[in-house]
Structure 1
Amino acid sequence: MDFINKKRMPVDVSTHIFEEVTYQVDGLHVRGLSMTPKQQVKRIVIYLRGGKGQVGKVRTGRLLQFSDEQTLVFGPYYRGNNGSEGKDEFYGKDLNDVTAAIRILNHKYPNVHIHMIGFSRGGLQGLLTFQDLPVSSYIIWGGVPDIYLMYEERVDLRGMLKRMVGHPKKQSEAYQQRDALSKITKSSPPILIVHGGEDRQVGIHQAYYLAEQLDKIGTTYRTFYQMKEGHVPKPFALDEALNTVKQWMTDVEQHSIKDDYHLNNKI
C-alpha cells in the first residue's frame, strides 16, 4: 500500500520535501500534495481543503502553516480537481479520496499520530470520515457541519448543490448519506471546533450547533472562537489559532484532554 507516483515540486524549504503524489482510489488516479519532513516523522496532519475546483485549492503556504520539523502534512485534491481523475461528488465517493490517503500514510507510518483538519467545505468532508479512520483527533476550522444548513443558508450555492447532490426533499437519500452528525458517536475521536465570530461564509451559529449536538452525543470536544475574525483570520489572530491547533494536537497525543473538555474560549 503506497502512492503510485511522486513528482518533486519546486518548493524551496530546508526542512521538508514537497511532492505531488498520485494514488489509486476506486480505479481512479487521484492526486494530492505531500510535505514530508527530512527528519523522522512524528506527526501527520491531513488538510482537507475547502471550496471546489480552483477555489480553495490545496496550496503550499497552507500546508506550511501546520508543519514543524517532524510533521508530515498532506492535502488531497479530491477527484476531478487539479489533474485528479473522476468527478467531484461533493461528499460522495470523493470521501474515499480522504480515507485512502490516510490508510496509505497509516501503513507507511503505523505508530505516528494522525490529525485531520477540515476547513470550510472540508469541515463536513472530515466529519463524514474521521470516526472510521486511524486518527487521533479532528479539527474543524470555519467548517460546515451540516449539509442541510448549507443548502438552507447559502442561497448562492443551491444551484451547485442541486447539480451535484440534488434537492433535499427530492433526493433525500443523497442528503441522508451526507448527514455527518448521525454517524458521530460518544467514542469518536475528540474534536476541536475553531471558528470566527464574523465569518460570513459559514456563520458561527453553525459551530454552536455542532457543539450542541456533540454535547447531546457525549463526544469529547473543545471550542476556540475568535469573535472578531472572519472566515480566514487576520495575521495575528491566525498565529493564535494555529498555536491553539498545535497545542490541541499535543494535548491529544499526551492524553491530557481533561474533564473540562467542553472549554469554550472566546477572543
Structure 2
Amino acid sequence: MDFISYKRMPADLGTHQVDEVRYDAAGITVRGLLVTPKHSVERIVVYLRGGKGQVGRVRLGRMLQFTNTSTLVFGPYYRGNNGSQGRDAFAGDDLQDVIAGVEILKKMYPNVPVHLIGFSRGGIQGLLTFQAVQAASYIIWGGVSDMHLMYEERVDLRGMLRRMVGHPKKLPEAYQQRDALSMIDHTAPPILIVHGGLDEQVGIHQAYHLAKHLEAKQVRYDTFYQMGEGHIPRPKALSEVLQRIHSWMDEVERNK
C-alpha cells in the first residue's frame, strides 16, 4: 500500500519536502498534502481540516505549525474537494479518506506514533476515526463533537447539513452513524480538548459536552480552554495553543 502519485509543490523548505499526493480510499481516488522531513520521521501528525470546499481548505502554513525536524504532517483534502473524486459527505464516506491515508503512512513508517488533530468540522472527523486508526492521541481544536448540537446552534448551516447529511428528524440514522460519543469507551487513546470561550462558529459547550462524556467513560483527557479567544486564536494565544499541542504529543509519547 502506497500513495498512487506524488506531485512536488513549489515550497522552498530546508527541512521538509512538500507533495500533493493521490491515493485510493475505498475505491475513490482522493488527494492530500504531505509534508515530509528530509531526514528521519519520528512523529506523524494527521491534520483534519475544517470547513467545506474552499472554506477551511488544507494550507501549507497551517500544517507547518505542527512540524519539527522529524515530524511528518499529512492533511487529507476529503473527497469532492480540490481535485479529489467523489462527494463530500461531512463525516460519512469521507472518513475513509482519513483511515486510508493513515494506513498508508503506518505502513511506510511502522512504529512511528500517529497523532490526529481535528479542527472545527475536522473535530467530528477525528472523533469518528482516531480509535479505528489506533492513533497515539487525538487533539480536537475548536471542534464539533456532536452533530445534533451543531444543527441546533448553527442555523446558518442547516441548509448545508440537510443537503450533505439530511434532516435530523427525517434521517435520524444518518446522525446516529455520526454519533461519535457513543463509540468512545475507556480503551480510547488520550484526548486533548482545545477551545475558545468566545467561539461563535463552534460553541464551547461542544467541548464541555465531550469532556463530560470522556469523564464518564474514564478516558484519559486534558483541556486547554482560552476563554477570551474565538474560533481562531489571536497571535499570542495561537502561540500558546501550539506550545500546548506540541508538549501534549511529547507527554503522550513519553508515557506510552
Q: TM-score range by the shorter chain?
A: over 0.9
Q: Distance in 2 between matches of 1:15 and 1:134?
A: 28
Moved over 3 A (4+): none
**1:165-176 matched pairs, under 5 angstroms:** 165-176=165-176
Q: Which amino acid aligns with 2:234?
A: K
CA deviation after TM superposition for structure 1 residue 27, in Å: 1.6
Q: Please tell me whether the aligned partners of residues 99 and 129 of structure 2 are also in contact (alpha carbons under 8 angstroms).
A: yes
CA deviation map 1:9-43 (0-9, x unaligned): 00111100000000011221100000000110000
Q: Secondary structure at the match of 2:107?
A: helix
> Separation in 2 of the partners of 1:205 and 1:174?
22
| Partner AA of 2:221 in structure 1 | Y
In structure 2, give the amino acid aligned to 1:254: R
Q: TM-score, normalised by structure 2?
A: 0.99
SS in 2 for 1:131: coil
Distance 1:55 1:127 in 2: 21
Q: Partner letter of residue 238 of structure 1?
A: L
Alpha-carbon distance in structure 1 between the residues aligned to 2:111 and 2:129: 20
Match of 1:211 in 2: 211
**Percent sequence identity over matched residues?**
66
Residues 1:152 and 2:152 are matched in the alignment: yes
**Across the two proteins, how many residue pairs are aligned to each other?**
256
TM-score by length of 1: 0.95
Equivalent residue of 2:81, what SS? Answer: coil
Counterparts of 1:102-113 in structure 2, within 5 Å, are: 102-113=102-113
SS at match of 2:83: coil
Partner of 1:143 in structure 2? 143
Shift of 1:134: 2.6
Paired position in structure 2 for 1:195: 195
Determine helix, strand or coil for the equivalent of 2:78. coil
- Structure 1: runs of 5 or more not aligned: 257-267
For residue 244 of structure 1, report the CA deviation from its aligned partner.
0.2
Distance 2:162 2:135 in 1: 32
Q: Which residue of 1 aligns with 2:10?
A: 10
Alignment RMSD (CA, Å): 0.7
Aligned residue type for 1:69: T
Match of 2:90 in 1: 90
